[in-house]
Structure 1
Amino acid sequence: MSEAVFARLPRFDLPAGNAGGLRSAKPKGPVLVEPEAAEQNEVSKAKAELAAKMSDVEVLLGSLNKAIETVRADADRQAKTAIVAISEQLFPKLSRRFLASEIEAHLEIMLPETAAHVEISANPALSEQLEDLLDQSAGLAGRCTVTPDEAARGARVDVSWKSGGLTFDFDGLLEACIGHLRTTHSAMGDKS
């Protein structure tokens, strides 16, 4: 009687995996694939997914490179346009501000020492600036006479002495410089 009571309890004296003396039965349902084949199947699926994702990444990188090139070209064009616009505004203001001192510096170099009396004519505003600077110059103070010319337009300065003369046409020079800048700007935008 005691054996019947204990028959249902698991036994510990049998080899592992067969506790209780029960026979192992085949599992009902789907047949399991061998572990190595299942691993290989998963690895193949992972490789296929990775290849598909890498292909997508390559397409994205290609479109990203195109977008970067477009943005770079646009930034270059905008920067060059801004430089030209700033230069067109800045150069005339700088030339008006420093023109008289530049003319005075060049007159000291360009006038022959034999020119005892030099006549300078320019627009009234520039004449006033020139006269102030020439009066302070040791080499030009007694030699130059500045005459305001109401008909003079822009930054044209005529200088004459008995044996010669010269003309400073800074408006023409400024226009030539800005034209050159615009031409250079157009050439900088070209792809070689």
Structure 2
Amino acid sequence: MKLLTSIFAVLLLSVVTLVQATELQTGSVAIYSNGQVKKLVEQTPDWTLWESARKRLYRLSFLPYFPTLEYQRFPRERGGYTRHIDLTKVPLLMPFGDSKSIAFISQRTKTDGTSAQRHWRCRYDGKARESLMEREWLVENYSCNRFNPFSKKPFKERREISYAPDLGMVVKESVSRPGRQIKVTRLEYLLNPKEANANLIADMVKGLRH
């Protein structure tokens, strides 16, 4: 019990330090409810690049409702992809813009060179609050459907996203596909670069799995 108390004390200190920053800091470590650990390795005004413990890279748009822009295995293995979305043709959802619903097409290209278009509809669902790291955060909610324009089925994939502006991150996402179990992933911990160390991260992940 003393060990857990000590761990959470360090964790809360890390969170306070991070939240006081004007932006998400490179080197921050995110730990998710499924036990996945990702480190922020690079960021620009348009995207953030995260590296998982399994050395896989995820490039995410600054627009939280967009799907992953790039997924890369390391070393370069089959299964990775990049995704292009022409922002000049897509209005921005609130609060990034004035639209409440949009439709767009993404061009997804795999590492083997094959590519395909994917059709999306996204909607702004308003503000809410999410409990995270022993406090409540204001979140912007979105829902997105990937669909086949030539099919009568309502969707091929549905994503529900909760984005915390104060953290600059998606803190909760549920993904559902017809005939499959819904997958819900929550951000459980966000560690400041100075406080994130291997022992603390291992203890956090172990606690989630038990």
Structure having the higher strand fraction is 2
Name the structure with the higher helix share.
Answer: 1
Q: TM-score, normalised by structure 1?
A: 0.26
Q: Which has the higher contact order (CA 8 A, sep 6+)?
A: 2
TM-score relative to the length of structure 2: 0.24
Larger radius of gyration: 1
